[in-house]
Structure 1
Amino acid sequence: MLINDNQEQIAIATYGLTKIYERNIAVNEVDLQIKQGEVYGLIGPNGAGKTTLIRMLATAEEPTKGEIYLNGDRLLQDDTNPHLKQYLGYLPDDFPLYDDLNVIDYLDYFARLYKLSKPLRKQRLQEVLETVNLENKRNSPIATLSRGMKQRLSLARTIIHQPIILLLDEPVSGLDPIARLEFRQAIKLLQQAGMTILISSHVLSDLAELCTSIGIMELGCLVENSSLDNLYQKFSKQQILISTLGEYDKLEQQLKNCPLIEHWEKLSQKNHYLAHFTGNLEDASELLKQLIKADIPLHNFHCEKENLETIFLNLGHQQTS
């Protein structure tokens, strides 16, 4: 069993993991450690290597070089360690559903493929339907399900054999906000049950809500890898949203004169301003006092940290500049 310096058990570890297609390096020397029970978010632009990395972890793609360990055991591509593959649940972004089956028959089919005994099959079918909130659709034809329901059904199929490591590649792509919320709720239940989850997504607000750690990929390399808290601490700057009922020139002059404001911008709503602030909360309080003292009719003064999407965009700009 792999253990890190903090005596935490490592569920997924890679060393020098590389995938080369002809002369194109899709994944380049990735060293990664994901602790047991973590929800690890993998982000990056299209073509960064996220899907290739996940496919190698799922044994759907053979590495050009490098090593993969699951719970401390070396994962090989041949048939010498089938027990390791039982650890895995893999949901690619293009897995087909069988529209001519109903929900329960579809899940039962996969439970049989995993050779679950009849009593365990019955138990697991009920458990996964409850996890993904599809109990009331158990006898419905798959063709009648919404896109969000189909994606939750795919998740149920992925966890039917009780994996302890879950690999999700763009699972909420194309889903509406309600369907994304329902999918997040299912992931949270699996997280609470102690499952280790690696999830790639372009919907960074979802990852910010779910993940404990984040990896950022660029051109096949893992360019950032840290806990979400450390990422915010390292890269997230303070910003202040200010709204006023008037005295725009006076407010803008105050913003220009404040040495703790790196820059500011007027938002599309004419009375809203966003200031990028380098001070602490006490400094922000002092700024508010100054604006009130200047008789500026404020109706909103809200301090917040930059979100994960802003951090990602800023890091991407740094990589290309």
Structure 2
Amino acid sequence: MKHLAIETKGLTKQYDRSVAVCEVDLQIETGEVYGLIGPNGAGKTTLIQMLAGIEEPTVGEIYWFEEKMSFNQSRSPLKRRLGYLPDDFPLYDGLTVWDYLEYFARLYYLRPPQLRRRLEEVLELVQLTSKRNSLIATLSRGMRQRLSLARTIIHEPILLLLDEPVSGLDPISRQQFREIIKVLQEAGMTILISSHVLSDLAELCTSIGIMELGYLVESASLDELYRRYSQQELLISALDNLEGLGEQLLGFTGVETYQILASEKQIKVQFQGSDDDKYKMLRSLLNSGFKITEFHSQKQDLEKLFLQLDHKQVS
């Protein structure tokens, strides 16, 4: 039996005549890292703000851990187990890293000796221990974003909502951020993260939701999405006769199209067959005298999968 950390029913947010989120039915299981993707204006931020209890829905219901959220209870015990990182949360440049975190820790009623222990824990987690006495104004963008995450988890939440946390970060900073998220998931935290950097979500997430014009047009586990939509690619390298090899490939089960990469002495094949079909293909090619030096399959990356899904929705 699955346990849900988040569930919404018919969740809708309307501003005057504009509908930002429309009839969203969302389910996120406890312990998942759920990736929310979609273009600007799709409704991701508005959805996350409603899940965080900041924006009240026009219509619909929100459940955290099977308990209905009430927007009239600002001090609900459950809200104290929530961590929310918006994409524009301000930092106080005149404070040191330690003073900034201590300020928010005291807002959550952390007191010594727990307060000091927790500050040391989160600084180590976000790799800012050496910067504890530095002014926030001196931190790089990646450090500032990790500090924001430290502030978000200072009170040990069980549910984390992150709105575009890696936006604008360089590759090294994104990698550092991903490693922190993995540690938090391993600790049992449920995480919803929105991003335009699809490669980050592919590495992090267990499930994906796709939003378009306020609608949640797709929501499933990453494995299920790959199984339903992804096209498998075969990479075949040969010493010579790539043209003849390509012509031969069209006669095998599962082969749809192929592309010759002459400079790499390689053929890329769009393939929809089974493992048994691949085995028969390789055996036949070798028996036919083709000098195969490499033969392996790879999954379509998440960005290609997203573009394919988006095309299906439009068509």
Band of TM-score, shorter chain = over 0.9
Tell me the distance in 1 between the aligned counterparts of 2:199 and 2:292: 29
Tell me the distance in 2 between the aligned counterparts of 1:172 and 1:302: 32
Q: Any unmatched runs of 5+ in structure 2?
A: none
The answer to whether 1:102 aligns with 2:96 is yes
Q: 1:17 to 1:268 in 2, by over 3 A?
A: farther
Which residues in structure 2 correspond to 1:49-198 (within 5 Å)?
A: 49-79=43-73, 81-198=75-192
Indicate if the aligned counterparts of 1:27 and 1:220 stay in contact, CA closer than 8 A.
yes
Secondary structure, aligned partner of 2:113:
helix
Tell me the distance in 2 between the aligned counterparts of 1:76 and 1:190: 27
Indicate if the aligned counterparts of 2:82 and 2:159 stay in contact, CA closer than 8 A.
yes
The answer to whether 1:306 aligns with 2:303 is no
What does residue 282 of structure 2 align with?
288
Which residues in structure 2 correspond to 1:199-210 (within 5 Å)?
A: 199-210=193-204
Secondary structure, aligned partner of 2:298:
strand
Q: 1:273 to 1:45 in 2, by over 3 A?
A: farther
Q: Deviations over 1:81-135 (max 9, x none)?
A: 5323212111111112122222111111111222222322112101111211211
Indicate if the aligned counterparts of 2:242 and 2:260 stay in contact, CA closer than 8 A.
no
Q: Deviations over 1:215-242 (max 9, x none)?
A: 1212211121122222222222321022
Which one is further off, 215-224 or 147-156? 215-224
Instruction: Give the letter aligned to residue 273 of structure 1.
Output: I
Which one is further off, 18-27 or 252-261? 252-261
What does residue 237 of structure 1 align with?
231
Which one is further off, 87-96 or 223-232? 223-232
Tell me the distance in 2 between the aligned counterparts of 1:299 and 1:242: 8
Tell me the distance in 1 between the aligned counterparts of 2:111 and 2:215: 43
> When the two structures are aligned, how many residues end up with a matched partner?
315
Secondary structure, aligned partner of 2:127:
coil
Superposition RMSD in Å: 1.9
Tell me the distance in 2 between the aligned counterparts of 1:183 and 1:268: 39
Tell me the distance in 2 between the aligned counterparts of 1:147 and 1:251: 50
Indicate if the aligned counterparts of 1:75 and 1:81 stay in contact, CA closer than 8 A.
no
Question: Identity across aligned pairs (percent)?
Answer: 60
Q: 1:296 to 1:176 in 2, by over 3 A?
A: farther
TM-score, L = length of structure 2: 0.93
Which one is further off, 254-263 or 184-193? 254-263
Q: 1:81 to 1:146 in 2, by over 3 A?
A: closer
The answer to whether 1:228 aligns with 2:226 is no
TM-score, L = length of structure 1: 0.91
What does residue 3 of structure 1 align with?
none
Which one is further off, 301-310 or 99-108? 301-310
Q: 1:269 to 1:54 in 2, by over 3 A?
A: farther
Secondary structure, aligned partner of 1:118:
coil
Instruction: Give the letter aligned to residue 208 of structure 1.
Output: A
Q: Deviations over 1:258-304 (max 9, x none)?
A: 34211223459563332111111221122223333444443332212
What does residue 320 of structure 1 align with?
314
Instruction: Give the letter aligned to residue 110 of structure 1.
Output: F
Indicate if the aligned counterparts of 1:47 and 1:219 stay in contact, CA closer than 8 A.
yes
Tell me the distance in 2 between the aligned counterparts of 1:80 and 1:292: 69
Q: 1:318 Cα deviation (Å)?
A: 0.7
What does residue 263 of structure 1 align with?
257
Instruction: Give the letter aligned to residue 33 of structure 2.
Output: V
Which one is further off, 122-131 or 208-217? 208-217
Q: 1:92 to 1:266 in 2, by over 3 A?
A: farther
What does residue 218 of structure 1 align with?
212
Q: Any unmatched runs of 5+ in structure 1?
A: 1-5
